[in-house]
Structure 1
Amino acid sequence: MSIQHHISDELLLGYASGTLAEGWSIAVATHLALCPSCRRRLDFMEHAGGEMLEMACTDVADDTSWAAMKARLGQDKASTATAAARTPAKPATAAGDVVIPEPLRSYLGGDLADLKWKALGRGAYHIRIPTGDRETSVRLLRIPAGKPVPEHSHGGRELTLVLKGSFQDGDALFKRGDLEEADESLQHQPVATPDEDCICLAVTDAPLKFRSYLMRLVQPVLGI
């Protein structure tokens, strides 16, 4: 598995400091389980943060500066992520037919064979994943091979992590383990590659902005 699209420094630092909402943390932790490169980056960030904290402890001018340092380095325990999402990601094993790594598998209650999908229309399916935060919407998507998702832009951030199959977005190909980060500046229409259905984790913090009038009509029913 050769991952080409990785977590941004901003997201990885937020994860390392424990400041991400639970939904974002699930996506980042699942990517980390699949990506040795990003696990090494995370280790470096956490090691550097620990050294900075030790240095700060030896020369703290007052309680205010100490509190500010703890907040910057994410030592505040009031993180919105759950313990499952913030558990250090273990490398996904290649044994058997396991597709969904931890921690996502615990949220879903099993691997692909155990899932109960709900129809989205046109052969697409989804599973909503409940979390404890009110900032994000998290779901598993299954897009039919060779089919596009409706063209859309975003009201905020969207993370899409490929777990099985692949999709094409413009000139970029996203395969297992690849993470696409989109924001308000991007309007796109990803297309599942024709070899197999694409299964991915999608996390958003605002409703999508569909170009199609029909999609806008059914959007409240679909909840996307």
Structure 2
Amino acid sequence: MTTLSQDINHHISEPLLAAYAAGSLESHYALVVAAHVSMCDECRARLAAHEAAGAAVMECSVSKNISPRAKSDVMAMLDQPAPAPEVSYTRSGVFPAPVMAALKGKPPKWKPVGFGVRQSILHADKSGSVRLLYIPGGEAVPEHGHRGIELTLVLQGSFSDETGRFGVGDVEIAGDDLDHAPIADKGDACICLAATGAPLRFTSLVPRIFQPIFRI
């Protein structure tokens, strides 16, 4: 497992870590958290603390008797054949193991969205979306706001916006109070993993026109 903790300055917030530990975080956000945790010793330790706290609460919970029918259902489930083991994925290049799992071990299928920027949608439904973004050095993403939270994890290169600079392993948590136009720093292309819970609010007309086509 590759860790870059000494270089990471922007981490996952406590509420998001707690929700992830409890299994209540939406899947698109959970993928970003899992990828960041795989790269960050500090957040991995914080996550372990949340999981330990949750286990302690479960142990202290008052036990309740269950009905004979419920016991019978549980025993019947135990008699079922064991499911096939899940495929285990490892880091490949700049892509952490959780991202490779989402890609099913295959390279991203990049599609152009303009000005050299490319994307690969990993998942999208009514609850939100998560995608990989490839932004050439020096290029900017059109100015936009958010309807909810956007999580952006840097996998390669870096980008800067009104809130600061984000390098490999950093995650930006952008809320509906932030309008920004991220710019990839010069040098290597910036590759990010980005999750949103709703379509972005673009400032200019052209991005709004193509927004339904690119599903952003």
TM-score (norm 1): 0.79
Q: How far does residue 46 in structure 1 lie from its aligned partner after superposition?
A: 1.0
Q: How far does residue 56 in structure 1 lie from its aligned partner after superposition?
A: 2.5
Q: Secondary structure at the match of 1:103?
A: helix
User: Which of 24, 40, 45 matches 2:29?
Assistant: 24
Q: Distance in 1 between matches of 2:12 and 2:176?
A: 18
Q: Distance in 2 between matches of 1:45 and 1:22?
A: 18
Q: How far does residue 136 in structure 1 lie from its aligned partner after superposition?
A: 1.4
Q: Distance in 2 between matches of 1:197 and 1:185?
A: 27
Deviating above 6 A after TM superposition, structure 1's stretches of 4 or more consecutive aligned residues are: none
Q: Distance in 1 between matches of 2:54 and 2:213?
A: 44
Q: Distance in 2 between matches of 1:161 and 1:212?
A: 25
Q: Distance in 1 between matches of 2:128 and 2:209?
A: 22
Q: Secondary structure at the match of 1:150?
A: coil
Where does 1:37-186 land on structure 2 (aligned, <5 Å)?
37-57=42-62, 98-110=93-105, 114-130=107-123, 134-186=126-178
Distance 1:28 1:154, change over 3 A: same
Q: Secondary structure at the match of 2:61?
A: helix
User: Equivalent pairs: percent with the same residue?
Assistant: 43
Where does 1:208-219 land on structure 2 (aligned, <5 Å)?
208-219=200-211
Please identify the structure whose Cα radius of gyration is greater.
2
Q: Secondary structure at the match of 2:97?
A: coil
Query: Quick check: 2:28–2:123 contact (8 Å CA) kept in 1?
Result: no
Distance 1:184 1:171, change over 3 A: closer
Q: How far does residue 170 in structure 1 lie from its aligned partner after superposition?
A: 2.1
Aligned to 1:66: none
Q: Distance in 1 between matches of 2:213 and 2:158?
A: 27
Query: Quick check: 2:122–2:130 contact (8 Å CA) kept in 1?
Result: yes
Report the residue type matching 1:215 in the other structure: P
Q: Distance in 2 between matches of 1:174 and 1:198?
A: 10
Aligned to 1:78: none
Query: More deviation in 48-57 or 182-191?
Result: 48-57
Report the residue type matching 1:47 in the other structure: A
Q: How many residues align?
A: 192
Aligned to 2:76: none
Q: How far does residue 49 in structure 1 lie from its aligned partner after superposition?
A: 1.7
User: Which of 33, 41, 44 matches 2:38?
Assistant: 33
Give the superposed CA RMSD.
Answer: 2.4
Query: More deviation in 49-58 or 185-194?
Result: 49-58
Runs of 5+ in structure 2 lacking a partner? 67-84
User: Which of 200, 207, 213 matches 2:192?
Assistant: 200
